[in-house]
Structure 1
Amino acid sequence: MPNQNQSLLDALNACVAACENCATSGLRGDNLQMMARCIELDRDCADICALTARYVARSSEHAQHLLKECAEICKACGDECQKHADHMEHCRECAEACRRCEEACRQIMAT
Structure 2
Amino acid sequence: MHQMDPAMKACMDACHECHITCLYMAMNHCLEAGGKHAEPQHMKIMADCAQICAVAIDFMARKSEHHRHICHECAEICRACAASCEGLAGMEDCVAACNRCAEECEKMAA
Q: Could you tell me the TM-score, scaled by structure 1's length? A: 0.88
CA distance in structure 2 between the partners assigned to 1:60 and 1:3 by the alignment = 16
Percent same amino acid among aligned pairs?
35
1:27 is displaced (CA, Å) by 1.3
How many residue pairs match? The answer is 104
1:7 is displaced (CA, Å) by 0.2
* One-letter code aligned to 1:7: A
1:68 is displaced (CA, Å) by 1.0
* One-letter code aligned to 1:38: H
Structure 1 runs of 4+ with >3 Å offset: none
1:30 is displaced (CA, Å) by 3.5
1:107 maps onto 2:107 in alignment? yes
Deviations 1:7-65 (A, max 9, x none): 0010000000110012112112242xx12232211100000000010000110111111
CA contact (8 A) 1:22 1:39 kept: no
1:47 maps onto 2:51 in alignment? yes
* One-letter code aligned to 2:42: C
Aligned to 1:83: 87
Q: Could you tell me the TM-score, scaled by structure 2's length? A: 0.88
Unaligned runs of 5+ in 2: none
